[in-house]
Structure 1
C-alpha cells in the first residue's frame, strides 16, 4: 500500500471554513484494476466532487432542506472513499481534521474501525448495504483519536468512477454543526416569513433569488413567480428608475435608504392597502449591496415598508401647526367666515393635500437629480485628437428634472462619436428613460454603426418601451485622420461649427423625426472640418425659454461663440461654456440645459501610411515588405515621433498580423485591398480593407485545421481588434502597444 498527495479537484469538499490551509486528499492504491486505456491507478484528481451534487444531482450532504445550502457552506464537510470491501482508499485532510485520525492510520483500514466497539458490527453491516447499491443518509457515533465520542451525520453512495471501479463515496459532517445550522435556518425562516416588511434578495444580475410573503403582497406577484426574474420583467408598469437605482447600488456599494415612494394610483386597486379616494399607499424603499468577507459582490437586498400611516400623521401634524394661519389668511382673502366645522375641515384637507404634493415633488426631484448625476458622465474621456468642455445645469429649483444627456465615445481608427439628446418630459421616470437611451447609444456606437443606423435603432428602442417616450438626438462621428464629420439628427437642434478663421454658422442637417414616433428615415451628412475648428452641440433648454424662441436663441449662442473665438485656443473652450450659461439661462427656466464643445484637431499626416494592393498571390509578401519598411522609417527618424522608439519590438508581430489579414482579404474578400497604418503616441493601429461586406468570425481552431488561424492570432497577439462596416465594404483592424517614452519636459 502506498500514500500519495495529488491536487484536489476544483470545488472539492475538502475546504474548511475555519481557515485551515487547503491540502490535497490522501489516497491508497485502489483494489480494482484500472481500465486498459488509463494506464495506471486513479489519482485524487479523478475522483468526482460529490459535495455539491450527488447521484442524479441530489445534495449528498446529510441535510433535508436544500434551502440551507448557503449556510452549510460554512461548516466542515469531510470526504472519504471506500472500496466495496469497506476499506478506506481516500482519506481527505478534512476527514483527518474531523476525526483526529491521520491518513497514515486510516488508509487501508476498514471503515468500522472509526466507530466505538459496541456498534462496529452495526456500522459494518450498514456500509455493506451501501456497497450493494443502497444509498444511505443517517447518524452514527464516531470515536475520535483522543477517545471522545461524538455524533456524525453521514451520506454514503456507490459510484462508478472514471477508472472503472465501483467505489463508495462517504460525506460526513459533525452533527453539532448540523444542529447549529438547523437552528439558524429555523430562525432565518421565521424572520423571513413572519416579518411584516417586504424583503427581497437579488443576485449580482438583479434577478430575484427569494422574496418573503410580505414583499409579494407589495408588488402583487406570487412568491413562486419571482426567482430568476428581474423586477422590470415581473412588475407591470414598474418605474424605469428602480432598475437603474438597483444597478447603482450594485456598482457603487452606496445604499439607498428610506426612499419615499407614493404608489402608482392606477395600481392601487390591485394592491391591498390603497388609501381612500384612489390614492396609492406610501412606501419606504431601501436597497443595499450584499458582498462576501473578501469583497466579492453577491447581490442585492431590498426592503419595502408601508409608511402610509406615518406619512399621513406627519401631514396632519404639519397641518395642525399651520391651520390657524391658514384659516386667518383665508378669512381675510374671502371676506367670509370659515368657523363652520365642515368648511374649515374641507379647507384644511385641501391645504394638507397641497403641502403633501409639494413635499412629494421635492423628494422626487431630489431623487431624479441624484439618478441623473449618476447616469451622466462624471468626466469626459481623454481623446488625443479632440479637446472637450461641457456643462449641464438642471432647471430652476421649482422645476422638474428633465431628460438631457450627452456623451463622448472614442472609436477605432482615430475617430470619436459626440452625442447629445433630450427625452421629452420631466421627473424621475424621464430620468430613467434617459439612462436607457444613453446606455443604448454607447452600445450601438461601440458596434461601429453609422449615425443614421444608430438613430434608427434608438427609435426602435423608444417604441419598444411600451409607452410613448419621445426624444431628440444628434449624433456626430469625427474622423481625425480624414478631417471629416458624419452627422445625423432625430428632431434635434442643429450643431454649430466655428472655423479657425472666425466664421461661426449652423451645420445644416436634415431635421429627421424625433425618436419614438416611428417610421422614421434619418439622413446623414458628411462635411469637411478644418484643423482646430470647434463643434458645439446643445439642447433646447439652453436656447429656448418662455420669452425666446429657438431660432433667436441659436442666434444668441452663435454670438456668444463668436465673441469667445474658441477655435485654435483650447483654454477658450471653458470660456464658451461659462459665457453661454451665464448670459443665456433664465434663473426661473423650467427646462434643463446641456452644452458640449469639441475642438477638432487633425491626426498628423506624417503618422499615416496607406497603400492600395492588387489582389494577387504575392500580395501578402508585398504587404509585409511595405509594413517593415514604414516601421523602420518611423523608428529611424531621429526619434521625432513619440511612440516610435519601441516600434522595433512590435515589428515582428505587426508584420505577422498584417500578413494574416491580407491573406484573409485575398482568399475571402473582394476587390482591391486597402492597408493603412496609424502611429499614435502609445499604440499603432493597422487597418485592412476590402469590398466584401460580410464580416469574418473568430472561431475555435482545432489541431490540424488549415483555416481560421488568422483571426485567432490577431486575437491573441494584439492589444485589441475589431471589424467595422464602410460604405464600400469592411475594415478589419488591430492595435498593438508601443509604450511611448515620456519626455523629461
Structure 2
C-alpha cells in the first residue's frame, strides 16, 4: 500500500472542504474553485474515482480550521461514504439528517437532537413529514423527491419552527438537501443539513426594514403624510400596531418646541394603524396624553411594560409591552410613536430598540424638512398675495382680468398693474428662475424696483435696462461663488396710452405675450424674445403699436419648459374671440397654464373725446396768454372743481417753459379725470427741464418750482420725437372751486 505524503483533500469540523489537491482534481474531475467551502456531501454520489479505497485521519497538530485529512489508498476501507459520514456525524456542529429512499428518518446527529430537543428514538423510522410535524415544520415532500430523482441538490431553504428546547421563540432554519448514491450511482437516500439562521434572518429583516423606511418615508414635504408613511412601514413588518402623535405646534406649521423638562406635551394622533381589531387604535386628530407613551415623553427608544392596572381587553386579550420612541432632532420634539405587538409574537429586543431609533431619527429629519417647507410655503404665499386691487385710474385705460394658479412652489412669478401719469397704465409680468424661498424674496425686491423705476417715467426698454442692473447687483450679493444660484429673470413691461391708443412694450426672456385685435386677428409675436435679465443684458427687444380700442393684450409668466407651455394654436383658439370679455378669456387661458403661473388679460380702452382737450401753441411768448385763456374756458365748460388760479398758473408756466427752452411743435393738453386734472405740454426738444430755487434778485427761474408747489405731482417723459412735461392738479372735494 502506497500512501502519498500530502492528503488528497482536507475537511473542517463541519465537513466542508478546505483543501483540494491537484490529484483530487484528477480523480474527481473537479477544480478546487468548484469544491472549496462546499459540504463533503456534494462529493458523495458525484462522478468520482470508482472503487478506490480511502483513509481518513483526524488532524491534531495542524491549524484549527483543518480537522480531517483524506488519503487515497490501493486497498483498505470499503468506500468514502461510511468513513466520512461517521466522522462528520460525530464532530459537526450543524444538524444532519439521513433519509432513506422512502423519505424515512434513519439517522440524525447529536447536534440535530440538541437543536430539536427530542430523543433519537422518537424520530428514527418515521416519515420525515410526520417526524417534524410536532415542531410546526412543514416540509415540501415533492422537493425532497425531486432531489432524490434528479440528484440536483437544494440549498438554503428557510423553514420556521418552535423547537421544544425554546418553544417561546420562533426560529428560522436553513435546510439544504443532497442525494446519497452508491458506487453504481444508485440513489440510497438523502442527507439534509440544518443550520439555525435565526440571528442572520433577523438582522437581514432589520436591514430590509431600514431600506424600506429610507425608500418610503419622506416622499412628500407634508407633515401628516410623513407620519402616515412611518405607520405604513412599521405595520405589520415591525409591529402589529403603531400610533404616531405630533405636537400641536408642529401640526400648525410652527417651529417645534424644546422637549419640556417634565416630559409633558399636548399631542394629537396624526396617523395610526393596527392589525388587531380587538385593540382599536385611536382616531386621527384625537388628543393623546403622554400616558399612552409612558409617564413622560421618552428621550430615547424604550420598552414599556403593560399597565398592570388595566383590565383585559375584549375576548380576554391583554396588553403587551410597547416600544415607545421620540420623534426629535437637536433637542426639539416633533412627536412620539408607540409600537405594539400582539401576544405570542416575538417581544421587543435590544436590536429592535436600535432599529426603532434608526427609523424614528430618519422620520424626524423628514418632519423637520416638511415643517421648514410649510413655513416657507406660508412666507411665499404671503409674498405672492394675488390678485391685486385695480385702481380706478387704471380701469379708465383698460379692463383687466388677473389670474394666479397658486401651488406654493415658490416659482417667483409676479404681475403688476401700475397707474402712470397721463392716464396711462403699465402692465408687468415677470418670473425669477429656480423656484424657492430665495427666489420669491428676489421677486419681491424686483417688484419694489419696478415700482420705483416707473416713477421715473422711463421708456419700457430703458426700464428693463435699469432693472437688469438691479438683477446683476442682487447676483453679486449672493454668497454662491460658482454662480449656480445667481438670479435670472423673465420680464415683460408694457405701457398702454388711452389718449393716443399707443402700446409700447419691451421684453426680456420668453414671457407669454399675445395681442388680439377687435377684428379677431391674433398676433402671437408682437415683439421678439429678448435676453434674460441678469444674463447678456441690453439691448432688449422692444416695439410700439397703435392699437384700436377694444384690443386684448394677454401677458403670462413663462412655463418651466416648452412641454408645460400652451401651443400657439391652442392659445390662439382660446383668445380668438374678441366678443368675449377679459374674464372669460382669462378663464380659457388659465386652463392651459401650469401651476404657479400668473396671467393678465387686458381689454384696451380710449378716453372719451370730451375728456381730452388739446391745442397747438405757437412757439412765441405772446401765445402763452391765449393758451391760458383757452384752458380756462375748457375748465369752465367741464365744470371741473379745481383751483382756477392754480390751474391757470400751471398752464402758463408749462407753456412758457416749452416756448423758452423747447422746440416746435408745442401742444397743450388737458385730461379730465375723476380725481385730478392732468396738464401736459409736448415739444420736440430733448433737453430736460431743471427745477431750481431762484435767488431773490432773479426775475425768472421759478416756473417749475411754482408748478411743484401747486400740483400733486409733476414730471417729464421722453419720446423718440421729443418730450412731455406734465403736472397733476387735484379735484377739490365737494365741488369747491377754491
- State the TM-score, normalizing by the size of structure 1: 0.49
- Which has the larger Rg? 2
